[in-house]
Structure 1
Amino acid sequence: MKTALFTNVAVAALLSTALAPTAFADTVAAADPVADEAITEVIVYGQGQSRQIQAVKASELALEAPGTSPLKAIDKLPGVTFQSADPFGAYEWSTRIGVRGFNQNQMGFTLDGVPLGDMSYGNHNGLHISRAITNEDVARVELTQGAGSLSTASTSNLGGTLQFFSRDPSYDMGGELAGTVGSEAMHRLYGRFETGEIAQLNNLRAYVSIADQKTDKWKGGSEQKQRQISAKAVMPVGEGELSGFFNRSERREQDYQDMSFDMISRLGRDWDNFQPNWALANQVGAAYQQAAIQSALTGVPVAPVYPAPVGTVDDAYYYGAGVRDDNLGALSLSYPLTDTISFSGSVYKHTNEGQGLWVTPYQPSP
């Protein structure tokens, strides 16, 4: 659903009129002059917005399949397009999002005010939202179409901003446990424990959650795995609030082969990398290497002859894979200084370890 933010106006009107009772006579008693006065009071509350803001709440995010990227959930909003090679929208290499003609490289993304970069694969200035937080822990997503607010911590928000907000810990002790199974040997387990308010720690409240997901690729071989551990705490500080979160993501994913229109027409939409067919991958590599050697010896270009249905050396590799371990943490303080002035600030840290792997026919194995 979309939620448009406009200036809210509340009007309260009080009209009172009192007339003296009519006597059973030819004359009517004069009315009280005070009762004839109409008293009208108009009270206006609200805050104006110079841009359109749309929001997706936790109740709407919960309608998506567990493990779905929060990015995919906003695809329902007007003017938003989203695409991905996997059904969860979490395979980062293939995900693309656009808002009214602006692509993701021209938009700003934040999580609780922490900049996330531009959602590109392996971006240098942030972290993909699919690794930053699990979708069960997202409270809401706000999309600002058009140039983002100056208060948004981003250097690429010309085309708008997507702000993700994590859920706050509950005031009561409790928790949640959920399991999901699906096709392609997909299974996922999610659990969260809520501490509730802890009076001995100045009414601090917190939660810890963990999600573990594994699924086979819907085409080709191998699997995609991810484990996420999240924690968040909120504590009152006078009239203000101190909050912090820590999220860890461990991701092991096998790539889908990039497909062109020509490849789809020649090989079909279910074409993918060769894994686990090592024999076919080895034949393609041998054909490429033999043609390269003959070309070098004779000085005449020799075209490789590949086994059907392969037409070019780049139709498929044996496999491609990504290994990613990320830690993202932040500490935020908001505090009112006066009735009209408040302070808010955050410090955060992101560490990233990983590697990308491609097994191609270009270099022969030793």
Structure 2
Amino acid sequence: MRTKFNPMPMYLAVVTALAVVPAAYADSTDGATVDTGAVSIMGEGQVRASNAVERKQFQEQQPGENPIMVLKRVPGVNVTTADAYGIYEYGTDVEIRGFDSGQIGVTVDGVPMSSNAAAGGNPAGRFMDSENLQSATVAQGSGDLATPSANALGGSINYKTVDPRNQHGIQAQVSVGSFNSSREFLRLDTGKSSSGVKSFVSGSRTDTEKWRGAGKNTRDHFETKVQKIFGENKVGVSFTYNKRFDHDFLDMTLADYNQNGRSYDLNTTWTGNPLLDQRNYTGWTNGRTDKLLSSQGDFKLSDKMRLSLVPYYQKQDGFGTYNPGHNPITGAVELMFRESRYYTDRYGMTSKLSYDLGQHQLTAGLWVERYKYKNDRNWYTTLNSAVSGAPDRNNVVQTDFDRNFVTDTTIFYVQDSIKMMNDRMNLKLGAKAISVTRSYVDNLNNSNNRDAKYSKSFLPQLGATYQLSSANQVFGNYAENFSAPSTSVLTVGTYNPDLKPETSTNIDIGIRTSRERFDASLALYQVKYDNRILQIKDSTNRYLLNADIYSNVGSITSKGLELASTWRPTNHFNLYTSVTLNDSKFDQDYRASATTVVKTGGKTVPDSPQTMLFADASYHAGGYFAGLNGKYVGERNSTVDNTESAPGYEVFGLRAGYKAKRFHGMKNFKVQFNIDNLLDKSYLSSMYTGTTAGNPTYFTGTPRSYYLTVGTSF
């Protein structure tokens, strides 16, 4: 088969090469202050590959976007979404070095996001507004020992929100754009009182119609933070409320996409025919309400000892609906109303005690959490299927399941950070122990109740940095990680009590340079992912019960290269580039049944692009700013046997605006214009992978869209 040449990878690679050229003269120290909106910090001082996105970039993105979308610039990270804001969670995903979002550790202000699942989980985007975000730090290979996660086989993402301001004031911002979208944001800061207390409250509302088919996405968000600093101690309390509602986007097969294009979606006309109306958009809805209360405390116990505590409590309730076209008891053609409900209560605390001995800095930490989750699903008849799929709540036809889960997690770690060779070398060594206990109660049939415990008493990490010169640093890290099987493995018809936890071994080595006008980081890595638990599911029938089979099916080996660079040739211009080369392959075939062997040995892991390139050029002068970015994502296989794939694509974005500290009586005035998917590229974005061709389904990327934002403060 002939392959069409795509110049985009070569173009972005050349751009990256050009960014490296200035290193020859980057040692010049003209003393100029450079503030061009550079957003990537190359992880200086970290023993592992690490990149950070800073506040400037979050402020110049489209307001209201899921903060995860900015991470597309970080090498090793692939972010896919189904909508312009990234708030439709079933179509939003992040992948790092071949690991998906369920295998990455995530925190917000130190609070662990224990599950990224849209149903019953806590995706990080629910707990922050982009306007309140200070930074996001990505460790691509492995989170540090303090990362509070029992499923992080790969890297970690740590979000930090801004503190209350010392001066009182009001910040207001309004955005409008494509697909009848609108967003309002308002924040009030009290300023610092005479007693040292400061606080803020903020709220936002996001409304947008689906860009294909019919329906809408809405999000109401509220945040508050109170903080007091006394001496060398700090105490804060935070509360977040988030309520979202959306109509589903249809995930389509590759044949659907090729035949109908990117706008193919659910039906918009009610017919009275159950077999047609089961695909009407009005029945496909989701809603979640989350409340998160947390506290952050950092205390000086002595001149050499500090204690940090982060207790938290989260409560969630949610639902998902669908109108099946058949009766589940009789099988007759009849429009039904099916509703899944989700209830979550979780609480826990992270703690860290550090002791400074000069050459040695000792750290010990503990994370404990109880995660309670209830999930049920009922089928109802409809009131009048000739006109709508509204349910008759008094007539429950069937209850598919009614179940409760309790997960108790404990992680303990110790670490020693040792300064050596006149502080040129920093050696970090430590280990953690993990214990996860899961309990499953089937309220319909107690004979299915199950408990499982998974633990690992020794997971070592060893890392080091060495300062070659004032500008250059090498680093290396070795880490062993562990992931307990999910609660889903307890609910299947045939339970596998011999299922082993998944494990990974992550190795990073690299070099960083930090100059007056040039920064860069190069990382090489290898990851061995063992005891992989396979969840086999026909994605075209993924709503059926007990469609999953769970088994340990072997290992995956990933290796690759990540390069990031920032070049600041003038005080006004900044060029950031990143390159990712990744090779994630199955190490062996696996047996799907007594008679079926799936040939996966040597095949590429689905949804793991081998090549990604990103470039962002930004300009800041006076109050004016502008930026152009582009990302290339290479071909992604969507089946484990590599018989189907999503083509590679490139997407560009443009932004421009004006900021002024004073503008016609307004303070901190800003007007900003964003264009996403500048060239209106049609492409396949997020995917549900499958076993062989015809199984996978996809969400298509959002077409070109425009957004205008105006903001000020008083």
TM-score (norm 2): 0.40
Q: Which residue of 2 aligns with 1:256?
A: 249
Alignment partner of 1:168 out of 115, 140, 163 = 163
One-letter amino acid of the structure 1 residue matched with residue 207 of structure 2: K
**Secondary structure at the residue paired with 2:89?**
coil
* Greater CA drift, 231-240 or 202-211: 231-240
Contact 1:254 1:321 in 2 (8 A): yes
Residue 316 of structure 1 deviates from its aligned partner by: 6.7
1:322 aligns with 2:286: yes
Counterpart among 136, 142, 147 of residue 142 in structure 2: 147
Contact 1:239 1:336 in 2 (8 A): yes
Alignment partners' CA distance in 1, 2:202 and 2:311? 22
Query: SS of 2:102's equivalent?
Result: helix
Q: Is the 8 A contact 2:248 2:284 kept in 1?
A: yes
Runs of 4+ with deviation above 6 angstroms: 313-317
Q: Is the 8 A contact 2:250 2:266 kept in 1?
A: yes
User: What amino acid is the match of 1:183?
Assistant: S
Match of 1:102 in 2: 99
Larger RCO (CA within 8 A; separation ≥ 6): 2
How far apart are the structure 2 equivalents of 1:239 and 1:93? 43
Answer yes or no: is the 8 Å Cα contact 1:263–1:315 preserved in 2: no
Q: Does residue 119 of the first structure (1) align with residue 157 of the second (2)?
A: no
Partner of 1:346: 310
After the TM superposition, which residues 11-90 of structure 1 pair with which residues of structure 2 at under 5 Å, given as runs?
49-90=46-87
1:203 aligns with 2:241: no
Distance 1:264 1:193 in 2: 46
> In the aligned structure 2, how far is the partner of 1:184 from the partner of 1:5?
38
Whole-Å Cα distance in 2 between the matches of residues 88 and 107 of structure 1?
22
Q: C-alpha separation between the residues in 2 aligned to 1:339 and 1:362? A: 70
CA contact (8 A) 2:298 2:308 kept: yes
TM-score after normalising by structure 1? 0.76
Of Structure 1 and Structure 2, the greater helix share is in 1
1:348 & 1:75 partners in 2: Cα distance? 29
1:262 positional shift: 1.7
Give me the whole-angstrom Cα distance separating, in 1, the residues matched to 2:204 and 2:282: 30
Q: Does 1:273 align with 2:249?
A: no
d(CA) in 2 for partners of 1:148, 1:166:
19
Mapping for residues 221-300 of structure 1, pairs under 5 Å:
221-275=214-268, 277-279=269-271, 282-283=272-273, 285=275
Match of 1:337 in 2: 301
Q: Is the 8 A contact 1:228 1:247 kept in 2?
A: yes
Q: Go from structure 1 to structure 2 and tell me whether the alpha carbon gap of 1:318 and 1:262 turns closer, same or farther (over 3 Å shift).
A: farther
CA distance in 1, matches of 2:180, 2:326: 33
Instruction: Tell me what 1:361 maps to.
Output: 325
Which residue does 2:213 correspond to in 1?
220
| 1:85 partner letter | A
Any idea what the Cα deviations from partners look like across 1:63-93, whole Å, max 9, x if unmatched? Answer: 1101100100111111110101101112100
Deviation, 1:115, is 0.7
Q: Over residues 204-245 of structure 1, what are the superposed CA-to-partner deviations in whole Å (9 max), with x where a residue is unaligned? A: 000000001111110111211111010011102442000111
Q: 1:315 to 1:323 in 2, by over 3 A?
A: closer
Sort the Cα spacing of 1:229 and 1:245 in 2 relative to 1 into closer, same or farther, 3 A.
same
Shift of residue 122, structure 1, vs aligned partner: 1.7
Secondary structure (helix, strand or coil) at the match of 2:126 reads helix
2:187 maps to 192
- Are 1:2 and 2:40 matched, yes or no? yes
Q: Equivalents in 1 of 2:248, 2:317: separation in Å?
A: 18
Deviation at 1:156, TM superposition (A): 1.9
1:317, CA displacement in angstroms?
6.2
Any idea what the Cα deviations from partners look like across 1:112-140, whole Å, max 9, x if unmatched? Answer: 1101124222244xx11221111111111
- Asked if structure 2 preserves the Cα contact closer than 8 Å seen for 1:317 and 1:361, the reply is no
CA distance in 1, matches of 2:247, 2:209: 9
Any conservation in 2 of the 1:111–1:164 contact (CA below 8 Å)? yes
Q: 1:181 aligns to what?
A: 176
CA distance in 2 between counterparts of 1:83 and 1:5 reads 24
Distance 1:314 1:254 in 2: 14
Q: Deviations 1:160-209 (Å, cap 9, x if unpaired)?
A: 1000101001000112100001111111100000000011xx21000000
User: Which letter maps to 2:43?
Assistant: L
Contact 2:235-2:295 within 8 A present in 1 as well: yes
- Aligned residue pairs, count: 292
